[in-house]
Amino acid sequence: MGAESRLVHDWNIHMTYQVLANKYRPTMFKHLIGQKSIVDTITYALTQQQLHHAYIFSGTRGIGKTSTARIFAMALNCQQHDTEPCGKCPSCQQIQMGNDIDVTEIDAASNSKVDEIRDIIAQIHYPPTQGRYKIYLIDEVHMLSTHSFNALLKTIESPPDFVKFLFATTDPQKIPKTIHSRCIEFKLQAFSQTAIQDRLSQILTIEAIEYDGPAIEKIATAGHGSMRDALTLLDQAIALGQGRVSSECVQSLLGLVSETMLDEITTAIESQDYPTLMSICKQIESEHLAVESIIYQLMRHIYDKIRACLLNNELTVLEQLQLYYQICEQAQASLVHQPSPYIALEVLLVRLSYFKVEPESLEDMIRRQSQASSHNSSKPVDNQSKLPEVNNPQKPAPVQLTGIAKQVLQNAHCHQTNDQVVLSIPSSMSALLNDRITKQIKDAYHQKKPDLVVVFKITEDKERASSQATTHQSKQPIKVSPDIKRAVDHLAGQIEQVTSQTSD
Confidence of residue 386 (pLDDT cuts 50, 70, 90): very low
The answer, yes or no, to whether residue 206 has pLDDT greater than 90, is yes
Judging by DSSP bridges, how do beta strands 420-426 and 413-416 pair with one another?
A: antiparallel
Give the pLDDT score at 395.
44
The answer, yes or no, to whether residue 396 has pLDDT greater than 60, is no
Amino acid at 457: K
Give the pLDDT score at 478.
53
Give the pLDDT score at 488.
56
Query: Between 503 and 196, where is the model more confident?
Result: 196
Which range, 181-190, 311-320, 347-356, has the best average confidence (pLDDT)?
181-190
The answer, yes or no, to whether residue 495 has pLDDT greater than 60, is no
426-473 pLDDT, tens digit per residue, is 877 777 778 878 888 888 888 777 888 888 888 876 545 554 554 455
Q: What is 275-314 written as a DSSP string?
A: HHHHHHHHHHHHTT--HHHHHHHHHHHHHHHHHHHHHTT-
126-143 pLDDT, tens digit per residue, is 999 888 999 999 999 999
The answer, yes or no, to whether residue 475 has pLDDT greater than 90, is no
How many CB atoms sit inside 10 A of residue 238's CB?
A: 18
Which of 234-248, 265-279, 288-302, 478-492 is predicted least confidently?
478-492
Residue 271's contacts (CB-CB under 8 Å, 6 or more residues apart) are: none
Nearest to 228 by CA among 65, 416, 444: 65
Question: Whole-prediction pTM value?
Answer: 0.64
Q: What is 53-108 written as a DSSP string?
A: SEEEEE-STTSSHHHHHHHHHHHHH-TT--SS--S-SHHHHHHHHT--TTEEEEET
Mean pLDDT, range 305-314, rounded to an integer: 85
223-245 pLDDT, tens digit per residue, is 989 999 999 999 999 999 998 99
Mean pLDDT, range 395-422, rounded to an integer: 70
Query: Between 478 and 226, where is the model more confident?
Result: 226
The mean pLDDT of the chain is 81
41-92 pLDDT, tens digit per residue, is 999 999 998 999 999 999 999 999 999 999 999 999 998 877 889 888 889 9
Classify residue 401 by its DSSP letter: -
Nearest to 274 by CA among 349, 200, 179: 349
Residue 496: strand, helix, or coil: coil
Give the pLDDT score at 454.
85
Give the pLDDT score at 365.
46
Which of 170-179, 384-393, 410-419 is predicted least confidently?
384-393
Mean pLDDT, range 210-234, rounded to an integer: 92
* Domains of the chain, each with CATH number or no CATH: 16-187 (3.40.50.300), 191-254 (1.10.8.60), 258-358 (1.20.272.10), 387-462 (3.30.300.150)
Confidence of residue 192 (pLDDT cuts 50, 70, 90): very high
Nearest to 199 by CA among 18, 31, 16, 40: 31
The answer, yes or no, to whether residue 293 has pLDDT greater than 70, is yes
First to last CA, the chain: 124
The answer, yes or no, to whether residue 13 has pLDDT greater than 80, is no
